[in-house]
Every structure is written in C-alpha cells, then in structure tokens.
Amino acid sequence: MKKVFMFVIFLVALVSVSCSDEERVSEPEVETEKEIKVIVDKKIDELVRLYPESIDNEKLRSETPYQEIIKRQDEALNYMLSEFASGKAQGSRGDIMMLACRDILGDRDSVEGEVYSGIDWYKKFIIRKEIPLDNFEYSGRDKILKLVYDSLSQYSDTVDYQKEGFHVSGIKVYKTVEEGSYLKVFVHVLESNYKLFKGEEDQYILDEIGGSSIPCAITFKKDKGDKYKLDTMDKPKDGTEYAASIEEFCITPVTNKKIGGLANRLINNQNDIEYCKKILFDNLKEHLTKNGIKKAILYDPYGAVDFKMK
C-alpha cells in the first residue's frame, strides 16, 4: 500500500511539472523594441539578398522573412518608418519596406494606388506641410561671386521647375574679363530648386524639384551709378552643338576676341562639377541654418543626403 501511495504522488508531481512546461512554452515571448529592430532589420536584409533589384509583390509576400516582419505589425511598422525618415530606404530595401508598411497599415494607408518607389510612397504618406523659403543669397565678400549668385536668382528661364520652391546654386569661376563698361564672367553653374516639408519632430524633408549643370558666360554692364547689372547670360546648346556653342561665347565682351583654352576648360570639367556640388550643398546648409532648420534629409535617386546643421 505504501508503494502505491508513493507512485501516485510521483505521477501527480510529473503531471504538474509537465503542465508548467506547456504553459511556459505556450506563453508568447514579449520582444523589446530593440529586439524587434534587430529581427526586422535582419529579415529585410534577407529579402534584399533574394530581391536585389526588381520585386514580385505576390512572391515577396510568400517569403518567410516577409511574414516574420508582418506578424510584428505596428512594432515593425514604426521601425520601418524610422528607417525611411533617416534616409535608409534606398533601392529594393525601400521597396520591400514600402510593401510591408502598406500591408500592415491596410486602410490606414493614406496613399492611393501604385507608386514609383518606396521613397516616393513615404514622401506621400507622411503628413507634409511645405515651408516656403526665399532663394539662396550669397553672403560672402567676393564681389564677383556676389554678382553671379544674384544674377542666377534673377535670371528668368522657361524651365518649369524654376517656378517652384527655392533656388540654390554652387558655382566655379574660371575667368573674368573687363572691357569698357562690360564685365564678363565665365563659370560652371550647378543649380537646383527645392521644396522643404515638415517631417516628424524636428526632421525636415527636402524635395529636389529640378536642376541643371552647365558652363555659361554671364555679362554685366555698368549702369549710370557705376554699378554692374545683368546684361546677358550665354548657355551652351544641346546635342552635337554643345561644344561649338561654348566656343562661340568664350570671347571678350566688347572686342569679341577668342580666349584661348577657355572653351576646353569649360567642356572638360567633371572634377569641377564635383566641386560645384560641394559648394551647392554648403550653400544649401547655410540657407537652411539661416531659416532655423537644424536637420533635413534630401532624397535623390542615388541616395539620401543627411544635412545636420550645427
């Protein structure tokens, strides 16, 4: 009798332990925000390796890593939106996150229909209020640069993008020629028009509306007050006439004498374009700082530029 009693106690204890183990297994583990970020980031990387370029939405939805992202719902959504906000959503990574975000959002997605890319979707999804800014104004002491920058802001072209947003440029001066009451400045101009939108918290989003990168000659003429005013701006023609048209305006402003070697410098200027890009971004940063913007992200097809002002 004693042995049977001991066996019953052992059996009850064994069942009790087994039930506790089952209860512990069935309880879902609560993931921390940090753990979710690591998991979702890892799953996105796995999907990027599977789909480095084009994405088949239905096939993507059937992938296990994708389903692992979706099941984390708003926790995964918040992380992916933060990746968009910080500029880490280029290429297929952005497209994969867009699809996942839209699937999680469902009816909450404010963007209707198909969009071109993940970044395109994000810029339409976030509630954006445009912040109007004036054109950039050169604040340095160089009189030639002051004339050129002012002329670029004043110059009226027929390009649609110049009618929107605010204008910023970066220039390199190759040569200046004074003859009589005329001053002719030969430059390379990299210019863009931007729109600024309010993003999350103190984050701002920059949209590049359009731009150009060209060598040109800007001629100024003295007025009655002995101050230079914009007279003409010569730009190169497109296509096969490009080089020849630069040769045509590489002449002195009054005597029309050819300036030897100048046209070649304006044509073969790849390094100068990179220099102009740096100057443009410096000017853009200065302009944003002047207008009280401390942090902004510019999206373009090749990546995101993070502007953090001091």
Rounded alpha-carbon distances, angstroms, from residue 61 to 68, 72, 193: 10, 14, 38
Model pTM? Answer: 0.63
Sign of CA dihedral 52, 58, 64, 70: positive
Span 199-243, pLDDT tens digits? 666 778 888 888 889 999 999 999 988 899 999 999 999 899 999
Q: Are 122 and 98 in contact (CB under 8 A)?
A: yes
At 181 the pLDDT is 95
Say yes or no: 298 and 193 in one domain: yes
Check whether residue 235 and residue 300 sit in a common domain.
Answer: yes
For 53, the token pair is 């370029």
Tell me if 1 is assigned to some domain. no
Helix (H) / strand (E) containing 231:
strand 228-234
Final residue belonging to a domain, choices 71, 92, 125: 125
85 in any annotated domain:
yes
> In total, how many domains does the chain have?
2
**Pair (153, 47) in one structural domain:** no
Residue where one domain finishes, among candidates 93, 125, 157: 125
CA–CA separation, 199 and 117 (whole Å): 19
Residue 21 lies in a domain: no
pLDDT for residue 174 is more than 90: yes
Encode burial over 47-68: b for 16+ CB neighbours within 10 A, e otherwise. Answer: bbeebeeebeeeebeebebbeb
Please give the C-alpha separations between residue 40 and each of 4, 53, 304, in angstroms, as whole numbers: 54, 20, 21
In this prediction, residue 53 carries a pLDDT of 84
Report if residue 207 sits inside a domain: yes
| Domain around 231 | 143-308
Look at residues 78, 96, 125 and tell me which one is the last residue of a structural domain: 125
Q: Is 80 helix (H, G, I), strand (E, B) or coil?
A: helix
For residue 134, is it within any domain?
no
Tell me if 24 is assigned to some domain. no
150 and 297 inside one domain: yes
Query: Do 154 and 52 sit in the same domain of this protein?
Result: no
Span 263-287, pLDDT tens digits: 999 998 888 888 999 999 999 999 9
Terminal-to-terminal C-alpha distance of the chain:
85
